[in-house]
Amino acid sequence: MTATARLDLRLDAQDKDKITHAADLRGVPVATFVRDAALQEAGQVVANALTVTLSRSESRHFLDVMDAPFKPNAKLKRAMAAAARLAR
């Protein structure tokens, strides 16, 4: 991977020292440490935003609805008929 984008960051001295120390303990450059930590956190944030947690009763209701046969309502039937006419 060739890095082409840049990210600038301002820190106070204590934060920089802490990050530098952690990077040294890992045996990686500070930039690598910061990139890896930021990407891990970004992945977690995205995963959390895309995850839906249901209660036991909500989960049961969802599964019951998914198991029930699909029955299109009148509005959907009209829309499907209109789409079929347009397709001809």
State the total domains in the chain: 1
* 19 part of a folded domain: yes
Strand, coil or helix: what is 6?
coil
- The C-alpha angle 13, 16, 20, rounded to 5 degrees, equals 135
In a domain, 78, yes or no: yes
Tokens of 10: 């301002």
Residue 88 scores a pLDDT above 90: no
pLDDT at 54: 96
Residue 2, pLDDT score: 83
* Interval 50-56 mean pLDDT: 95
3-state secondary structure of 12: coil
pTM for the model stands at: 0.62
Domain that residue 41 falls in:
13-87
SS3 content of the chain, % helix, strand, coil (to 5): 70, 0, 30
Find the helix or strand (DSSP H, E) in which 10 lies: none
| pLDDT surpassing 90 at residue 1 | no
